[in-house]
Amino acid sequence: MNEIPTQYNPKEVEDKWYKFWEENDLFFAKSNSIKKPFSIVIPPPNITGILHMGHALNNTIQDILIRYYRMKGYEALWLPGTDHAGIATQNVVEKQIAKEGLRRQDLGREKFLERVWEWKEKYGSNIIKQLKRLGASCDWRRERFTMDQAYSEAVNEVFVRLYEKGLIYQGSYIINWCPRCQTALSDEEAPHKEIEGSLYYIRYPFKEHPDSFIVVATTRPETMLGDTAVAVHPYDHRYKKFIGKTLILPLINREIKIIADSVVDRKFGTGAVKVTPAHDPVDYQLGKKHNLEFINIMDVSAILNENAGKYKGLDRFQARKLITEDLKTENLLEKIESYKISVGHCYRCNTIIEPYLSTQWFVKMKPLAEPAIKVVKEGRIRFHPKRWTKVYLNWMENIKDWCISRQIWWGHRLPVYYCRDCQQRDKSQTPDSNSQINLKEEPGLIVSKEKPEKCPFCGSTDIYQDEDVLDTWFSSWLWPFATFYWPKETEELKYFYPTSVLVTAPEIIFFWVARMIMAGLEFMGEIPFSDVYIHGTVRDIEGRKMSKSLGNIIDPLEIIEHVGADALRFSLMLITACGQDIFLSEEKFKTGRNFANKIWNASRFVLMNLNPEEVRVDLCVFFKKEDLSLINRWILSRFYSILKKITKALDNYRFNEAANLLYSFFWHEFCDWYLEITKADIKDKHNQVVMYKILEKFLRILHPFMPFITEEIWQRLPSPDQSIMLQPWPHVQEEMIDKKLEEDVRFLFSVITQIRNFRSLIEIKPEQKVDISVYPHTKKRLDLIQQHSLMIKNLAKVNQLQILRVDKPPRPSLSAIVEDIDIYLHFTRLIDIKKEQLRIKEMISELSAICKKKEQNIKNKEFIHKAPKEIVTKERNEIKRLKGEIIRLEKIYNELC
């Protein structure tokens, strides 16, 4: 065994075992098993993704659950896959072809999509490779992609079903428009962020009295070009008399009316609001209600169009500037106030969203939400931690319709077709209205899974498909069942659906979790999973999200490179308190690395001191048959106590608790106490068996957390039984748990600690013999010491102490000395107390003097020299430390008196 290196080297180990597991097909889950199923579907990472800490955390948790349940005897399936990530992927490929000086329009749709597929083939599985390095035990045979043929069929099926049920409709509304990506976005894809803006107060003159005016306030002055009214509150006494009057829209000189509506807040701005129905969602509602004209002033890039008069061709922000100036020169700008506004940003490119009127497809959400609310309220789906339930319910109860069409190319094309002949006919019947926007549904519209041969309305064969694609999430929300080939009723669908638990991040509760619940209930008639574990967000040490632009990314692959996947996984689990955000720094991975090394060396020690023939026994039989020493019974009891706790912790998704238990048990109980004590009598058969059995069982319960190192050591055991992955999770042996014994031993340890304390209090020369005192308060405990005097003696020996005799607590006489014991309790210490007192006193006064001096120094530095905070704090800590030292010495002094 000496050839085993003293330092654990994950690099030599991890790839080897991952290959071994894959080659032996150990991740595969059968769909015709007699075992109980346990299934998790992976939150499919984007094909453009690279593994970041969030993935590492998310997938470590899933892997722990899967490995744990696999060992517990379930048919555990972890179904992997990737998401086509519409906008993200398109953006990446657009950037790539931009290097060749091309835009996607230059290539055309078909050629461009070819390029995307090429890109996907080449880079799309990077993230999968990275997951493997993490140790993810996914069933790779079942890997899915959201644009697989079968998956796309499911998407079409769903679209058609919802359309036929009247839950999908087409309509013109104000949607979030990203002028850079040139597509519509759902509300969830356009998060609001606060930015520094201004509130512009603009004068709108009356038609009748051009010298007087109404002042309106706006944050987007350029939208005034599309104004078709000014609204005031019906009971606002300032404006009541003007309702119905006509104003002249400055710069454009169009006549607009003053209307009254109670949505207007009298207290905000001037109490009068300009109404731009085509460029603001609230104004849109007003426009509909009051029958106003909808004037669109921008094109798809947010460049002003011909409706903007002389501002045509300007970008929206240039226009804002110029309009402000023009208003100033005409003396129509009353004032500009700086003002914080909350505006939507594209979640992919961070461009400011333009509320834009266009025809899009929507899903009616209310009918889908109702059953999804019910199952959570009834507790059929549980969130962990619980608090997310409220967040979920709150969102669901206020749900809005979902805009699902996107004006990009990469994605599932809408299964919507149009008949050109029908459209021609329609056009000739209704001449173009004045309005720029066609608010009516398209004529000759056909929704069908396959392209129809001919138009069902007129029989024409001149049919073309809608250009738009579906929102990426419109495919993701089917993930828990479309991955099992729904709508086909496959064996795996029946066996693995509903899945067991979903592990995900809080930011996609709305995007994904909520929608999966709705889809599951609507299409399967059954919840998609019973438990949702929401873990925290990984942040940097200052609490910021990790992002490329901030440059604060800690790359998990780099960490794996340095300390290994096991260390990464374990460190993450140690600091992940249930659902709390994680504040990460590279330092934290040291803990995992050191722990791995500790396991490595402890195992080395055990294996070096083993007689392989002797340890091949059944632990339970051995336990019953043999008369085991206290310390052996103690470690067995401790192991099973800990096992009980860990099992409970894992069942309740308390990963940090489980990790903590594993860590402190192994390090501070098994290594620090058990092995140290056992060392003295390592040749003993009982010790060898127990030591080996504990290690062997510990490896199993550690395996879900640290799969590689546990497999490596497992394979070095005297008789490795295949892979550790195939070992059952140990049963709790209640008969070996003895709480009273645990308490007794804890007391014995405290005695030993006292011996050590004593030694550090007073310096003892190596050869010097001393009597020391321990204070067992009860007869029982004295007995305990006496019974285990040998063990204490051995431990004392490790601490270079020799113990002579022990006695009962102090009594007037020594008449009660118990014979037959070899520890003697005595109150004399072999030192000159007076001398010692003097020495300590001197030290105390010396330290006090230093303290005073330092305190004065700090004051000077702080107030006179204005030293930086860090230096002052450092000095303060130093003083604190010194004061602590003084207190310590004083204690010793008092003890000597």
Show contacts with RNA in window 209-268 (CB under 7 A).
217-220, 263-268
Nearer to RNA, 207 or 668 (CB): 668
Which CB sits closer to RNA, 154 or 675?
A: 675
Q: How far is the CB of 632 from RNA (least distance, A)?
A: 16
* Angle at which helices 789-798 and 739-761 cross, to 10°: 40
Return the structure tokens found at 32: 């015709």
**Residue of 81, 269, 287, 707 interacting with RNA (CB under 7 A):** 269
Among 125, 182, 799, 837, binds RNA (CB under 7 A): 799
Work out which of 3, 7, 865, 866 binds RNA, going by CB under 7 A: 7
Point out which span in 43-51, 474-482, 649-657, 839-847 binds RNA (CB under 7 A).
649-657
Distances (CA, A) of 466 to 108, 111, 408, 454, 783: 16, 18, 12, 16, 89
For residue 121, give Cα distances in angstroms to 48, 125, 357, 574: 11, 7, 37, 37
Least distance to RNA from the beta carbon of 560, Å?
A: 15
Give me the least distance between CB of 878 and RNA, in Å please. 8
Q: Are 528 and 69 in contact (CB under 8 A)?
A: no
Task: List the interface residues with RNA, window 155-214 (CB under 7 A).
Answer: 187-188, 191-192
Does 802 interact with RNA (rule: CB under 7 A)? no
* 507 belongs to the binding site for RNA (CB under 7 A): yes
Radius of gyration, CA atoms only, the chain: 37
Nearest one of 743, 722, 657, 817 to 20, comparing CA atoms: 722
365 and 402 in contact (C-beta within 8 Å)? yes
Task: Restricting to residues 700-759, name those near RNA by CB under 7 A.
Answer: 753, 756-757
- CA 87 vs. chain centroid, Å, equals 22
Amino acid (1-letter code) at residue 719: S
Q: How far is the CB of 77 from RNA (least distance, A)?
A: 30
Q: Which of residues 589-648 bind RNA (CB under 7 A)?
A: 590-591, 593-594, 596-598, 601-602, 604-605, 608
- Looking at 120-128, 135-143, 454-462, 661-669, which segment touches RNA (CB under 7 A)? 661-669
Q: How far apart are CA 556 and CA 568, in angstroms?
A: 8
Range in contact with RNA (rule: CB under 7 A) among 63-71, 80-88, 112-120, 389-397 = 389-397
E strand intervals along 30-142: 37-41, 75-79, 81-82
Site for RNA in 769-788 (CB under 7 A): none
Find, among 79, 71, 78, 56, the residue nearest to 573 by Cα. Answer: 56
Q: Could you report how far apart the first and last alpha carbons of the chain are, in Å?
A: 54
Tokens, residue 750: 């405290």
Contact between 587 and RNA per CB under 7 A: yes
Candidates 213, 495, 622, 667; binder of RNA (CB under 7 A) is 667
State the binding string over 533-562 for RNA (x if CB under 7 A, else -).
--------x-x-------------------
* 479, 151 contact by CB (below 8 A): no
17 token code pair: 């075992």
Nearer to RNA, 158 or 333 (CB): 333
For RNA, the binding residue among 671, 762, 831, 851 (CB under 7 A) is 671
Asked if 288 is part of the footprint of RNA (rule: CB under 7 A), the reply reads no
Residue 273 makes contact with RNA by CB under 7 A: yes
User: Whole-angstrom Cα distance, residue 333 to residue 326?
Assistant: 9
Nearer to RNA, 427 or 891 (CB): 891
Pairing of the two strands 213-218 and 192-205:
antiparallel
Within 411-470, the residues that bind RNA by CB under 7 A are: none
Restricted to residues 88-147, the positions that interact with RNA (CB under 7 A) are none
Regarding 394 and contact with RNA (CB under 7 A), the answer is: yes
CA separation (Å) from 647 to 486, 658, 710, 861?
35, 8, 18, 55
Stretch that binds RNA, among 18-26, 37-45, 367-375, 669-677 (CB under 7 A): 669-677
877: tokens are: 């800590």
Specify the residue, 165 or 390, whose C-beta has the smaller distance to RNA: 390
3-state secondary structure of 332: coil
Ranges within 829-888 binding RNA (CB under 7 A): 873, 877, 880-881, 883-885, 887-888
Total residues interacting with RNA, rule: CB under 7 A: 82
